[in-house]
Structure 1
Amino acid sequence: MEKIMVVDDEPDTVDLIKLVLETEGFEVISAYSGKECLEKLKIEKPSMILLDLMMPGMDGWEVFHEIKKKYEDIPVAILTVSDRDIDKMLGLHVLKADDYIIKPFGRQELIDRIRSILDK
């Protein structure tokens, strides 16, 4: 069973994504902050990470850098409400995120994009 870590400071968002992913047969690891994500990565090995950019404290960009320093083999998809071209360019081309998913997104879109990343 594939494990997906969902990192978002909004519990409702995490719960919704968790529900969708679990109904598709994924195991979900929830983290509500960048710090919690990095702590859980010390003991968990997810197949991929869904990472929100806009979080208090350690933001998603900083968390992304830390993940890639220590766990470069784990794919990371950015989740954000920002549809600005500059943010998308930074995420996909500068940071080399595996995907850039703009909220709100549909259930099937999320599943399809996760499967696409995991199939690489």
Structure 2
Amino acid sequence: MVRPCFLVVDREFPGSISTRKLVLETAKFNVLTAYSGREALEMMRRFPAIDGVVMDGELHDLPAEQLTQELKKVEPKLPVIVICAPGFVDCPSADVLLESFQPAKLLETLRKLKPRESAEIEKHDEDISTEPLN
């Protein structure tokens, strides 16, 4: 089974780990994390086979629209999901704008991007949960 891999771009908060990363890993997706727009571009160049990007709409170093355009220069078909505050409209190049952080909605969006792989993960989890304990 090949698990989808997503790049999560989050603002860095000292002493914390990305909540978005934890949500995706709990759903058994592979996750790379970048804490700035510039780091996200470098990660994309180093790991071009990622399946999508989940990014904070309010990064400090690059506007969301600029980062989205730069990422799509590297991989034009790359799906970009921007997590933003209500009313945020500054990223028309994003494939999906999700207002505020709603883990269930984010996972639903990512599962729609990779339905076959998501179904395989769910089946694998179900198979494991029904195995007898020895």
Which bin holds the TM-score, normalised by the shorter protein? 0.7 to 0.9
Structure 1 residue runs without a partner (length 5+): none
Number of aligned residues: 111
Structure 2 residue runs without a partner (length 5+): 116-134
Q: CA deviation at 1:20?
A: 1.3
Check the 8 A contact 1:50/1:76 in 2, yes or no. Answer: yes
Match of 2:107 among 107, 111, 115: 111
Root mean square deviation, CA, Å: 2.0
CA deviations over 1:39-64 (Å, ceiling 9, x no partner):
01111121000122211121221111
| Percent identity between the two aligned chains | 26
1:102 corresponds in structure 2 to 99
Q: Counterpart amino acid of 2:29?
A: F
Instruction: Measure, in 1, the Cα distance between the counterparts of 2:105 and 2:25.
Output: 15
1:48 corresponds in structure 2 to 52
Check the 8 A contact 1:98/1:117 in 2, yes or no. Answer: no
Match of 1:37 among 37, 40, 49: 40
Q: Normalized against structure 2, the TM-score is what?
A: 0.73
The list of structure 1 runs, each at least 4 consecutive aligned residues, that deviate by more than 4 angstroms after superposition, is: none
